[in-house]
Structure 1
Amino acid sequence: MAFYSAEEQTGDYLFKIVLIGDSAVGKSNLLARFARDEFYPNSKSTIGVEFQTQKIGINGKEIKAQIWDTAGQERFRAVTSAYYRGAVGALLVYDISRRQTFDSVGRWLNELHTHSDMNVVTILVGNKSDLKDAREVTTAEGKALAEAQGLFFMETSALDSSNVAGAFQTVVKEIYSILSRKVIQSQELKQKDPGWMGDGKTVVLQADANQGDGQGKRGWCCSS
């Protein structure tokens, strides 16, 4: 089960989102483009975990997305359960110009589900869409895999900014949508049973199999 906590002082929500995928698919540049509107053409993998906090406004609420980047650890298979702990969203990134990174998607999904909640809102991201002449994975293949796994899908380019903000916002908006439904349900429970107690800070969220458009296994399936 996933937990989404509201900050006591501001009443805003803080969502932890992880970036996963093979090395050199552009995860760090996606984060740099989204958080700082920067791009590093000669960036190199580094050891450690980095994160940036970005504010996103949704329905008058200020959502803080705390985005974690493995920053090269995946090269050494040192991505641990601590990295995934508390994550409520994930961007699973592959490089459209390198098929082997697409073939690794299943392994990364297994790792995500092993170390975190099965209901983490996940978007499959085909990065480097600007490399049209070098493409090895078609858009149709990406969409088909996302549908089969019950994921959102989007192709992005950290180089030219295409869909970068949209990918992160898609995940955050879906998390908030699920959270809002659960908050409403909690309020209804409290009205029906005045003795029901909640601490007002943490809500347990699960995907509703009856939600969504029927395109995937869960209620946050494919989006293009």
Structure 2
Amino acid sequence: MQSTEEDYDYLYKIVLVGEAGVGKTHLLSRYVKGTLPKNPTSTIGVEFATRTVPLMTGGTVRAQIWDTAGQERYKSITSAHYRRAVGALLVYDVTNEKSFMNIKKWLDDLKENAETDIIIMLVGNKIDLCEKNPQCRKVTKEQGMKFAQCYSMLFEETSAVSVTRVREAFENLLQEIYNFKSRSAKARGPSESIGRVLVPQVEERRFIGCCNNI
């Protein structure tokens, strides 16, 4: 049973990041509303929505999910909204090789502007198109998994259209954020609690890339 919006223990800011047209808005709408956007258009700047989620380990998280524009002209706006983000879904389109080739650029932006210990999940979206026509796939699952492993990211392949692994992508990310913060809090000592928002002292999580070329 889903908790009410007023009943939560932790507040986590999550950002959706990636090229324009990879399906970030569709993923957010499917997860939060259970439907696809009626009149989909490119996101201008940033938009956000919230959902309260019970964790598998107990406790409840309110996820504040920010959908950011993929166009270069909005970069200064979107980068500013990475601040204080503790999690990110870095999305590419499995039928669009360019969107995958540009992942490193978005990853660098996150590293520069978000929290140093941010947990990132790499998401290959639009797998429904590949199920209809396997020749549409331009990025293999193995490529995505390898890149995610190189940069210490989680990994999922999803489809907002066929509702494949959408909930799992968001909620596995939220659970991993909680797990990481809990481990760090135990290692560093007591956490500071501001209202119902847990703000633990956490270790810096460094990204060491082993894939110079995708």
Q: 1:150-165 alignment to 2 at 5 Å?
A: 150-165=152-167
* Structure 2 counterpart of 1:20, from 14, 17, 39: 17
Give deviations 1:83-112, integer Å, cap 9, x for gaps.
111000000000000000000001000111
Whole-angstrom CA distance in 2 between matches of 1:85 and 1:125: 21
The amino acid that maps onto 2:46 is V
Partner residue, 1:111:
109
127-136 or 38-47: which moved more?
38-47
> Per the alignment, do residues 154 and 119 of structure 1 end up closer, same or farther by CA in structure 2, a change over 3 Å counting?
same
* Structure 2 counterpart of 1:200, from 181, 193, 203: 193
Whole-angstrom CA distance in 2 between matches of 1:172 and 1:136: 29
The amino acid that maps onto 2:23 is G
Whole-angstrom CA distance in 1 between matches of 2:50 and 2:70: 20
Question: 1:199, CA displacement in angstroms?
Answer: 4.2
Task: Note if contact 1:23-1:75 (Cα within 8 Å) is conserved in structure 2.
Answer: no
Task: Note if contact 2:10-2:60 (Cα within 8 Å) is conserved in structure 1.
Answer: yes
> Per the alignment, do residues 32 and 217 of structure 1 end up closer, same or farther by CA in structure 2, a change over 3 Å counting?
same
Q: Which one has the largest radius of gyration?
A: 1
Identity %, equivalent residues: 37
The amino acid that maps onto 1:181 is R
Q: 1:168-179 alignment to 2 at 5 Å?
A: 168-179=170-181
1:34 aligns with 2:31: yes
Q: 1:47-58 alignment to 2 at 5 Å?
A: 47-58=44-55
Partner residue, 2:87:
89
Partner residue, 2:212:
none
The amino acid that maps onto 2:16 is L
Question: 1:207, CA displacement in angstroms?
Answer: 5.8
* Structure 1 counterpart of 2:119, from 109, 118, 121: 121
- TM-score normalised by the chain length of structure 1: 0.78
Q: Which runs of 5+ in 1 are unaligned?
A: 1-8, 191-197, 210-215, 219-224
Task: Note if contact 1:33-1:164 (Cα within 8 Å) is conserved in structure 2.
Answer: yes
Secondary structure of the structure 2 residue equivalent to 1:51: strand
Give deviations 1:143-189, integer Å, cap 9, x for gaps.
11111111111100000110001111111001101122233345xx4
Question: 1:44, CA displacement in angstroms?
Answer: 1.2
RMSD, aligned α-carbons? 2.4
Task: Note if contact 1:123-1:171 (Cα within 8 Å) is conserved in structure 2.
Answer: yes
Question: 1:46, CA displacement in angstroms?
Answer: 3.2
- TM-score normalised by the chain length of structure 2: 0.82
198-207 or 57-66: which moved more?
198-207
Partner residue, 1:4:
none
Give deviations 1:100-142, integer Å, cap 9, x for gaps.
0000001000111111233210000000011112111111111
